[in-house]
Amino acid sequence: MYRSTSRRIFEVFNILLFVLFSLSIIVPFLNAIAISLSSYDEVLNGKIGLWPRGFNLDAYYQLAYSKQFIRSFLNTVFLTAVNTALVIILSMAAGYVLAHKRLAGRSFLFMYLIVPMYFGGGLVPFYLLVNTLGLNNTYWALILPSVINIFYIIVFRNQINQLPQELLESAEMDGAGEMRILLNIILPLVLPMAMAFVVFSAVAYWNEWFNVLIFIRDKSMWTLQFQLRDILSNARLIDEGTNQAMIKNGFQIDPNNLKMAALMLTVLPILVVYPFVQKYFIHGQLVGAVKG
């Protein structure tokens, strides 16, 4: 296949740009890994490149001994699982209801959802609402405001509208109820899209920290990202049990050791899961183009 000189120059430029962009991401990440695995003296001297020097796992041991860090990790796993499950279940159920041809006022309900999707009250009314409901400093403040995603509802509605209506009508004629139709017929047909939304939601909830900042005062309820924020800001690790374990085991850790180790443990679960779910990201790029 013939390619003109200008085309070749364009392709070379694109490749170089992509390589530079990739290196700008990979090099700092490798440096962070190297710092987290290097010894106190080497990190203190600031001579760590892309490979650990004086290899040790003291920073990771310190995090493992920290009840606060472990509790934050478990909080994040719990909130990610609960919020992701609720947002997908409620969005699919709401999308199914809005797609129902016999629903009275369907157009009005759809517009009722569209308006707050584009216009919000802002942070102050949001805070006042959560505070008025008595949700401050509870897990509910991290769950209830996140369980409705209007974009997901609209996409589910559009997708269900595109399904063959004869299929749903035949199920009704056979005596299937609404719940059976939703779970046994619609769910398998929209499962790839639902899985794409599961991935998007799980990543978003795993990275949640802002609601913790404004609503949570109890450290035992912190999420992992907020815990990481505290470690990066203060370069310390919090609980007395950790300090005693460090003294007992003779750990000597540079603050940058601790920061990078915490960063690695925070992103590791997403890095491990991503290769297994990346196909759903590809599908997720297409679902927004579904018309209804």
What kind of fold does domain 57-292 have according to CATH?
MetI-like fold (1.10.3720)
Contacts of 111-119 spanning 24+ positions with Cβ under 8 A: 113/150, 113/153, 113/154, 114/150, 114/154, 116/150, 117/150, 117/151, 117/154
Domain boundaries, given as residue ranges, for the chain: 1-56, 57-292
Spell out the per-residue pLDDT of the chain, length 292, in tens: 667 888 888 888 999 999 999 999 899 999 889 988 888 887 878 778 888 888 888 888 888 888 888 999 999 999 999 999 999 999 999 888 888 877 777 788 888 888 888 887 788 888 998 999 999 999 999 999 888 888 999 989 888 888 887 777 787 787 778 888 888 888 888 888 888 888 889 888 999 889 999 999 998 899 999 988 888 777 555 444 455 445 445 566 777 888 888 888 888 888 887 777 766 665 554 544 444 4
Cα separation values, 140 from 134, 161, 210, Å: 9, 33, 15
